[in-house]
C-alpha cells in the first residue's frame, strides 16, 4: 500500500453551537486524486483548513505525510499547494507581482517558465492589476500560485469556481497532468461531473460526517441501473419479475417494450434476455450526481 498523504481520525470541530465536523475519518493515499463532495456548509472547507492548521479541531488527530499540522506547521505548508475557496489578494499588485510575493513568502524556488506556461494556457495576462480582474481570472491566479511550488500535495477548494466551461476543462486537464507527475490531489467540489471525470475515489460529506467513501466507478456501479428492452414478441412478465435484484418499472404490451431497474451486476439479466429475440437494448448507468442525491435523500429519511 502506498504512503498515506492525508489521515484524519475522529475529527470534531465546533463553531459555537454549530458542530461543523462530526467525527470525520478519512484517508487519502499518495498519488491519488480524491474528490470531496458536499453542498455548501457540509464541512468541506473546514476540513481543509484543519489539515493546514489554519484552524484547529476540538478533538481528533490529523496527519499529513505522517506529520501533525499543529506540531510541524511550516514543514507541512512547504509540502502543500493550497487554493482556498476565498483567496484574498492585494488589489494593487499586478498578477506577476502577487505571484512573486507568494514565491517570496514560501521561500521556494519556482520555475518561472512553468508559471509563464500556466498563464498562457489559462489566458491570463501577468501585467494586469489584481483589482481589475474578474472572479474567473482571480481564480486562475489562485490556481497558479497553488501549483507553482510543485508541492507533493495539492489541496484545492472549489478549483473551477467562476470559470466558463472551456476554462474548466483546461483546469481539469492541468490537474490530471499534475497528478500524472506524482502529486496527490485533494479537491472539494459540489460540481459532480468534474469529480466523476478526474477523481480516483470520492468521499461524500453531509453535515460534517462522511456518509460514503469509495472508488468513483465502484460507487456508480453499485447503484441502480435502468434498462429499456424492446422485444420482438411478448415475454412472460412472471419470468422477468422473478429475477433477483430486478424490478419491472413499466411495460408497454402493445410494443413489447419493458423498462427495468437493476441492482448490482447485469449477468443474470443479460442471460435471461438471451433466451428471447431482442430488437433493441438501452442501458442507462447512473451519474455521480444521481448517486450523490440518493445518499443525501437516504440520510434525510434516516433522520
Let me know: does 281 contact 209? Beta carbons within 8 Å: no
Q: Rounded to an integer, what is the distance from CA 199 to the centroid of its chain?
A: 6
**Pick from 64, 76, 54, 62: nearest CA to 30:** 64
Question: What was the pLDDT predicted at 241?
Answer: 77
pLDDT for residue 214 is more than 90 = no
Best CATH choice for the domain 224-285 from the list 3.40.190.10, 1.10.10.410, 3.30.70.20, 3.30.70.1560: 3.30.70.1560
Let me know: does 86 contact 139? Beta carbons within 8 Å: no
pLDDT for residue 224 is more than 60 = yes
Q: What mean pLDDT do residues 25-34 have?
A: 95
Please classify residue 252 by burial: count the beta carbons closer than 10 Å to its beta carbon, then call 0-12 exposed, 13-18 middle and 19+ buried. Answer: exposed
Strands 246-252 and 257-262: antiparallel
> What percent of the chain clears pLDDT 90, i.e. is strictly above it?
51
Could you state, in order of their start, the residue ranges of all structural domains in the chain?
4-215, 224-285
The domain over range 4-215 is classified in CATH as 3.30.420.40:
no
Strands 209-215 and 153-157: unpaired
Q: What mean pLDDT do residues 44-69 have?
A: 95
Question: What was the pLDDT predicted at 11?
Answer: 97
| Cα separations in angstroms, 144 against 41, 56, 149, 228, 231 | 26, 27, 9, 46, 55
Q: Give the angle subtended at the CA of 173 by the CAs of 172 and 174, to the nearest 5°.
A: 90
Ramachandran assignment for 41, one of left (phi > 0), alpha (psi -120 to 50 degrees), beta (any other):
left
Let me know: does 206 contact 299? Beta carbons within 8 Å: yes
Q: What is the DSSP string of 128-182?
A: SBGGG--HHHHHHHHHHHHHTT--SEEEEESTTTT--HHHHHHHHHHHHHHHHTT
pTM (whole model) above 0.85: no
pLDDT digits (tens, 9 = 90+) for 244-266: 878 888 888 888 899 988 876 77
Amino acid at each position: 500500500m502506498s504512503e498515506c498523504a492525508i489521515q484524519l481520525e475522529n475529527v470534531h470541530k465546533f463553531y459555537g453551537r454549530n458542530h461543523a465536523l462530526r467525527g470525520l475519518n478519512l484517508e487519502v493515499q499518495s498519488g491519488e486524486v480524491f474528490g470531496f463532495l458536499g453542498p455548501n456548509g457540509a464541512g468541506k472547507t473546514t476540513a481543509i483548513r484543519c489539515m493546514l492548521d489554519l484552524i484547529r479541531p476540538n478533538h481528533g488527530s490529523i496527519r499529513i505525510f505522517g506529520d501533525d499540522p499543529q506540531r510541524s506547521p511550516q514543514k507541512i505548508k512547504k509540502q502543500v499547494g493550497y487554493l482556498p475557496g476565498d483567496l484574498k489578494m492585494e488589489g494593487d499588485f499586478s498578477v506577476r507581482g502577487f505571484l512573486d510575493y507568494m514565491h517570496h513568502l514560501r521561500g521556494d524556488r519556482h520555475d518561472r517558465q512553468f508559471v509563464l506556461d500556466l498563464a498562457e494556457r489559462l489566458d491570463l495576462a501577468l501585467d494586469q492589476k489584481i483589482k481589475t480582474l474578474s472572479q474567473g481570472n482571480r481564480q486562475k491566479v489562485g490556481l497558479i500560485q497553488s501549483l507553482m511550488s510543485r508541492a507533493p500535495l495539492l489541496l484545492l477548494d472549489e478549483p473551477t469556481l467562476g470559470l466558463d466551461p472551456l476554462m474548466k476543462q483546461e483546469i481539469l486537464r492541468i490537474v490530471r497532468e499534475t497528478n500524472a507527475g506524482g502529486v496527490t490531489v485533494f479537491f472539494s467540489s459540489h460540481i459532480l461531473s468534474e469529480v466523476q471525470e478526474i477523481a480516483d475515489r470520492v468521499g461524500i460529506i453531509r453535515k460534517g460526517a462522511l456518509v460514503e467513501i469509495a472508488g468513483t466507478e465502484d460507487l456508480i456501479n453499485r447503484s441502480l441501473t435502468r434498462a429499456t428492452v424492446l422485444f420482438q414478441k411478448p415475454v412472460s412478465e412472471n419470468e422477468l419479475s422473478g429475477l433477483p435484484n430486478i424490478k419491472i418499472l413499466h411495460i408497454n404490451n402493445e410494443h413489447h417494450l419493458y423498462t427495468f431497474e437493476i441492482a448490482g451486476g447485469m449477468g443474470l439479466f443479460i442471460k435471461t434476455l438471451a433466451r428471447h429475440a431482442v430488437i433493441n437494448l438501452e442501458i442507462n448507468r447512473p451519474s455521480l450526481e444521481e448517486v450523490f442525491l440518493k445518499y443525501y435523500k437516504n440520510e434525510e429519511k434516516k433522520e
